[in-house]
Amino acid sequence: MTRFVFITGGVVSSLGKGIAAASLGALLQARGYKVRIRKLDPYLNVDPGTMSPYQHGEVFVTDDGAEADLDLGHYERFTGVHATRGDSFTSGRIYADVIAKERRGDYLGGTVQVIPHITDAIKEAAKADTDGLDFVLVEVGGTVGDIESLPFLEALRQLHNELGPQRSLFMHLTLVPYIPSAGELKTKPTQHSVKELLGLGIQPQILLCRCDRPIPENERRKIALFCNVRPESVIPALDASSIYAVPLQYHAEGLDREVLRHFGLSIYGEPDLSNWQRIVHRLDNPEGEVKIAVVGKYITLLDAYKSLAEALAHGGIQHGVKVKLDWVDSQIFETPNAVERLSGVHGILVPGGFGERGAEGKIEAVRFARERKIPFLGICFGMQMAVIEAARNLVGLDKASSTEFGPSEEPVVGLLTEWLRGNEREKRHAEGDLGGTMRLGAYPAALTEGSLVRQVYGQAQIEERHRHRYEVNIGYRERLEAAGLRFSGLSPDGLLPEIVEYPDHPWFIGVQYHPELKSKPFQPHPLFAGFVGAAVKQARLV
């Protein structure tokens, strides 16, 4: 029997609903249950693919090529279950599907309405492909009280009625603020937020209360009394030393036990949390520190590089070191000698990016890493900049550029409009829509015998997730290789450069895909483990 846990949030945004959902998923999994987590987002974009990272943080990409909310990244990292297209839905996508059906004539004669058509589509999305699962956790984006989330909450209210309490429950995440002048914790915002839910016909069974200090028994009882829940189901959710400590903390406060109790499942026995204890211990007790400069564009909003920061932390877990990140806006390197700022770092990473702004600064950072033999990892745009740097400074093609920045005499990186996915040929038009038209999702690559990357992965064939429109132009391969840049990974048909490296550099790898999307705390991605390992060596030299 599949049970559903609907997760809503109240009072304010950014309380960590995604981490809460992921943590509950991890706890249920540690008790031997099969779980899947999905996200419903109330905005009208069909997916977050066209949104600026400043608006919505990183765009997470699934194996099957969906551009999704970054919370899916947390779900994957915490549970190891790979998300699919069906795990991330926006209002825009629900509406687009319903409107497409209306145009086709599927509702011929009927008036198409939010209730029941949109709500039915939401319920279908929540229930789709859940056979064989013990638990489906459905997180609703936004904050209760927003106009946008009403259809989602209405749909889940209906679904809860249809499934019955034996098969579904509502968990609500709220804030219990401390008011210094009163010297007290305040429960009123939680009461109001639950009232708001009650007004929509939803009685949450579990309250997860974010708070910066322990919630005294008295306050817990008060919340329970006013909000109609058992005192044991008022779970304090205090700030944690790291996101990976959250499952342990929630377990200590009884979250998984309360969920099981609600469903009438056995609450005896303890989940196996040894993996979590191990990584939290490693994070809390590092032996040394390495400093990695991340030279990018969206550095003022760290959510824009969420998976990247996590993957680097995973590399640190692997080597038992703290990875200290120095976020640098690449544009500062566009003034002479500014790049010297990178001299003390143990590794330089140029992440994914879009557009010309800051590109020259990234190229400077690549050059610095190459010439000074500092470990380097270039991801997607970062790899493209590494190739342009080589073309300009090693091959001597001064005009080397990417057609992303406009027409170029030396299009070392250019738009590709056709490629193979398995046996299928995928096509794009240069003037086509921007949404969902990149090379997206998992593609295989073959790694060259004897290369660093082959040694790093320990295998000859890999599959990694992509999200880009432009490709390194294979036509420049010979000249670049003659100058020392080795093409050490290619698409199986040999046409798309996937990985480049310098054999005469201690650790320099550029990859066209996004390895950070697949890194897990328990299974750090080989490239991040390798890169941080190289930084550890570099730190000993410096």
Output the known binding site for CTP.
13, 146-148, 186-191, 222
- Annotation: binding site for UTP: 13, 186-191, 222
Spell out a b/e string for 160-173, using b for 16 or more CB atoms within 10 Å of the CB, else e. Answer: beebeeeebbbbbb
Applying CB under 6 A, which part among 5-13, 88-96, 422-430, 464-472 lies near ligand GLN?
464-472
Q: How far apart are CA 473 and CA 416, in angstroms?
A: 9
- C-beta closer to ligand GLN: residue 143 or 384: 384
Applying CB under 6 A, which part among 86-94, 96-104, 348-356, 369-377 lies near ligand GLN?
348-356
* Residue numbers 354-413 binding ligand GLN by CB under 6 A: 354, 380-381, 404
Active-site residue, selected from the candidate residues 117, 160, 505, 514: 514
Among 192, 469, 479, 520, binds ligand GLN (CB under 6 A): 469
For this structure, is 516 an active site residue? Answer: yes
- C-beta closer to ligand GLN: residue 353 or 510: 353
Q: How far from 463 is each of 52, 69, 446, CA to CA, in Å?
A: 27, 21, 9
170 forms beta bridges with: 6
- C-beta closer to ligand GLN: residue 149 or 307: 307
HSE-up of residue 537 (Cα within 13 Å, Cβ side): 11
- C-beta closer to ligand GLN: residue 243 or 517: 517
- Annotation: binding site for Mg(2+): 71, 139
Spell out a b/e string for 34-66, using b for 16 or more CB atoms within 10 Å of the CB, else e. Answer: ebbbbbbbbbebbbbbeeebeebbbbbbbbebb
Active-site residue, selected from the candidate residues 364, 380, 464, 468: 380
Q: Which two tokens stand for residue 476?
A: 């420049």
For this structure, is 380 an active site residue? Answer: yes
Instruction: Let me know how long the chain is.
Output: 542
- C-beta closer to ligand GLN: residue 241 or 437: 437
- C-beta closer to ligand GLN: residue 69 or 404: 404
Q: Which two tokens stand for residue 404?
A: 């992303």
Question: In the structure, how many helices (H) and strands (E) does the chain have?
Answer: 17, 25
Among 3, 319, 468, 477, binds ligand GLN (CB under 6 A): 468
- Which helix (H) or strand (E) segment holds residue 326: the answer is strand 322-329
Applying CB under 6 A, which part among 69-77, 89-97, 136-144, 462-470 lies near ligand GLN?
462-470
- Which helix (H) or strand (E) segment holds residue 292: the answer is strand 289-296
- Annotation: binding site: 13-19, 54, 71, 139, 146-148, 186-191, 222, 240, 353, 381-384, 404, 469
Q: What are phi and psi of 36, to 5 degrees?
A: -145, 140
Contact between 364 and 333 (Cβ < 8 Å): yes
Q: Write the single-letter amino acid at 387.
A: V
- Asked whether position 467 contacts ligand GLN by CB under 6 A, the answer is yes
Among 42, 204, 352, 515, binds ligand GLN (CB under 6 A): 352
Taking the CB of residue 487, how many other CB atoms lie within 10 A of it?
Answer: 21
Least separation in angstroms between CB 505 and ligand GLN: 22
Least separation in angstroms between CB 353 and ligand GLN: 5
Determine the size of the site formed for ligand GLN (CB under 6 A). 10
Applying CB under 6 A, which part among 28-36, 116-124, 370-378, 461-469 lies near ligand GLN?
461-469
Q: Which two tokens stand for residue 100?
A: 């497409």
Q: Which two tokens stand for residue 479?
A: 């000249």
- Asked whether position 353 contacts ligand GLN by CB under 6 A, the answer is yes
For this structure, is 211 an active site residue? Answer: no
Contacting positions for ligand GLN (CB under 6 A) = 352-354, 380-381, 404, 467-470
